[in-house]
Structure 1
Amino acid sequence: MSPIGAAKTKETSISLESRKMRKSLRLKKGWMKGVILTLVLALLAGIVADFPIFSVMGVMIISILLGMSWKGLMDVPADAAPGITFSSKILLRAGIILMGLRLNFEQILSAGFSIVIIDVAVIVFTLVFMLYLGKLLSIDRHLSTLIAVGTAVCGAAAIVVVAPLIGAKKELTAISVAFIAIMGTIVTIFYTFLYPVLGFTPYEYGILTGSTLHELAHVIAAATPGGDISSDTAILVKLGRVALLIPVAIVLGSIFSKKSGNVPAQKRTFKDLPVPWFIFGFLFMCLINTVGFLPDALTKMLIALSILLLSMAMAGLGLSVNFSEFKKLSSKVLITGVAGSFALILLGLLLTKL
């Protein structure tokens, strides 16, 4: 190669490297922008929650409302999306893991059997009710199954896991995830105002929220007004539902495989299914708290950190809510989803009093 050609090649290589660096820098700035936005909203929510008129709502709900307000009034920069997603997903799980420091294994074991019964009853009832209603209304069985499993088990995570096992199209998965996110947020806010008039003990309210709300984020936010007992109980109940995701996914995958007469192209085995590893992190923190490994001061600091991380996750959830997604749903699908959610609430009220 001639010296001139070599020089041009070198210039091209430097130019490409420079463009890559600028792109990487823009991505990092966008990511930081999203994380910082959720942090600011979470800190602001903590200030607002100190006012008596807002204290009943709790910092989690206020974080969601501030996120929704920001999105509605000021919109969200497109490049901030990765940081917002990081807060609403990764920081959510980190906060849940650290919340394990508020519990010990004696509390978990004492509540264990009753929680399993509640979780199984909730999942079986919701799936049967919503799938039957979807069939009556002649809704696509893949769509009704995705919305049903999102309502019954653990929201978007359940939908994403089950979708390839039943051969659901990507657009149906997206619509189902959007519906569950919006419906769960509405019910979460509704619960916050319902709590003072229910007359439930913190434990009973924790059972209700943990057994009937869609996402982990929804459960944590709605249970906060009931205090630590309510929050701890709600998380245990909800994590039980999350743990049942794998057997539910396998059963649904098997049913759809038999009905279609063949095996879906993307069928997975038990070992291929995503395991909710943050549950083990939560239990590990419970173990640390049980043996008293950490000093009390450090434990309190980590619990305070968990509240901040969860508040950031709630702000991210609020920033991600897009009510326009409802326009993509037919009236029959809305009826199925809403009816299933409220039937689940009624079941939760019944189970709480049994």
Structure 2
Amino acid sequence: MEDVKVRQPEQPTPFLTEKRKRYIHGLIRGVVLTFVLTLIADQMAALPFFSIAGIMIISVLLGMTWSSLMGAQANASIGIGFSSKYLLRLGIILMGLRLNLTEIAAAGVSVIIIDVIVVAFTLVIMIYLGKAFNIDQHLSALIAVGTAVCGAAAIVAVSSVLKSKKEYTALAVACIAILGTIGAIVYIILFPVLDLDSKTYGVLVGATLHELAHVIAAAVPLGAAGMDNAILTKLGRVALLVPVTLILGFMFSKTSGSQNPKKGLKDLPIPWFIFGFLAMSVVTTFHLIPNGVTQFLIEVSVYLLAMAMAGLGLSINFKDFKQVGVRPVIVGVLGFLALAGIGPFLLLLL
């Protein structure tokens, strides 16, 4: 009789294969690294001068410093990418909880008109300057949206839609951080000289400075009432992040020269997470969750965005900075000066 071969049962594939273990290790390493850098940034942001820059700006600078000192973080790249992409989008969604649409509307039609003019004027003039100085259109758009809308958060939101180089995003963030900090200091110095009441000065600050941290710092001399006007005016610009991101997404999809037709909803140049941002503002407007929970989630959004910034800093290549040159900085300065220049004329609408 011939020997009958007994078929051995197949061994089940273990859930934690070596590949999965490496992925999980890289994910944890990268996320923890961005979190630690964010914790350090949070402590630094409590210091007098650094408070003007804010936790998000400090986080990207710490990430850049760590990358330059320690080299590429290959064993943590998965987690760094996760922070830069997914935590960023979650942070932007939760940032919508800052917006109470009723309060923005109550600030007055004139303030809303001022915000619309500021955003439209700044985007047009800075994108035009980018073309005049022969700067990459993605980079000029990022600097423009950071100046026009809400600084670093707007830059990273739009960069994820335009699929811009990380170096461009980091450069735009750094440029906005420096200009906004200088602008806040100048406004504080000029406040005693300017013949403006608290409301008018608050609107001027909220309409022309880059980051919310810059607005708050420059509005400190006003007291609580004046600071509320500055913050509400600034949040009106933040609310315009939704249409600005959608418009820029479609504009750049038209000029990209791609020959591949869109195949489905997921392929459209629409940042779907931005609708989460809008939904969260509706949650705050109608008080759908307790105020304590809202404030906690706003703090979480700040940390998530700061972790994304740290991941951005860890991912950049300094060699690409040298290739860009000084022209983007000049465009950033000229754009900010143009915005500050129309500020007094905008106050005539009040």
Task: Give me the TM-score of the superposition, normalised by structure 1.
Answer: 0.71
Corresponding position of 2:148: none
Could you tell me how far apart the structure 1 residues matched to 2:178 and 2:6 are?
Answer: 66
Give the superposition deviation at 1:84.
Answer: 1.8
Corresponding position of 2:115: 115
Matched, 1:345 2:336: yes
Give the superposition deviation at 1:119.
Answer: 1.8
CA root-mean-square deviation: 3.7
Give the superposition deviation at 1:225.
Answer: 4.2
Matched, 1:85 2:74: no
Number of aligned residue pairs: give it.
311
Q: Is the 8 A contact 2:212 2:234 kept in 1?
A: yes
Q: Is the 8 A contact 1:127 1:148 kept in 2?
A: yes
Corresponding position of 1:186: 175
Q: Residues 340 and 52 from structure 1, CA distance in 2 versus in 1: closer, same or farther, beyond 3 angstroms? A: closer
Corresponding position of 1:291: 286
Task: Give me the TM-score of the superposition, normalised by structure 2.
Answer: 0.72
Equivalent positions of 1:156-167 (< 5 A) are 158=158
Could you tell me how far apart the structure 1 residues matched to 2:241 and 2:291 are?
Answer: 31
Equivalent positions of 1:216-295 (< 5 A) are 219=211, 225=217, 233-234=233-234, 236-238=236-238, 240-241=240-241, 243-251=243-251, 264-266=258-260, 272-295=267-290
Q: What amino acid is the match of 1:343?
A: L
Give the superposition deviation at 1:4.
Answer: 8.3
Q: Is the 8 A contact 2:88 2:308 kept in 1?
A: yes
The DSSP-based 3-state class of the residue aligned with 1:244 is helix
Could you tell me how far apart the structure 2 residues matched to 1:162 and 1:53 are?
Answer: 33
Q: Which runs of 5+ in 1 are unaligned?
A: 135-142, 164-172, 211-218, 258-262
Could you tell me how far apart the structure 2 residues matched to 1:69 and 1:88 are?
Answer: 17
Corresponding position of 2:149: none
Greater alpha carbon shift after TM alignment, 95-104 vs 24-33: 95-104
**1:34-68 C-alpha deviation (Å, 9 max, x unpaired):** 11111112122222333445444433333233222
Corresponding position of 2:34: 38
**1:204-263 C-alpha deviation (Å, 9 max, x unpaired):** 4443344xxxxxxxx466556458856665454255255234444545665x59xxxxx7
Q: Which runs of 4+ in 1 moved over 6 A?
A: 2-7
The DSSP-based 3-state class of the residue aligned with 2:338 is helix
Give the superposition deviation at 1:19.
Answer: 11
Q: What amino acid is the match of 1:276?
A: P
Matched, 1:151 2:140: no
Question: Once the two structures are aligned, what percentage of the paired residues are identical?
Answer: 33
Could you tell me how far apart the structure 1 residues matched to 2:317 and 2:21 are?
Answer: 28
Q: Which runs of 5+ in 2 are unaligned?
A: 146-153, 192-200, 220-226
- Would you tell me which structure has more helix in proportion to its own residues? 1
Matched, 1:59 2:64: no
Could you tell me how far apart the structure 1 residues matched to 2:332 and 2:231 are?
Answer: 21
Give the superposition deviation at 1:155.
Answer: 4.4
Q: Is the 8 A contact 1:129 1:340 kept in 2?
A: yes
Corresponding position of 2:96: 100
**1:70-109 C-alpha deviation (Å, 9 max, x unpaired):** 2222334212122222223322332233233333112333
Q: Is the 8 A contact 1:64 1:316 kept in 2?
A: yes
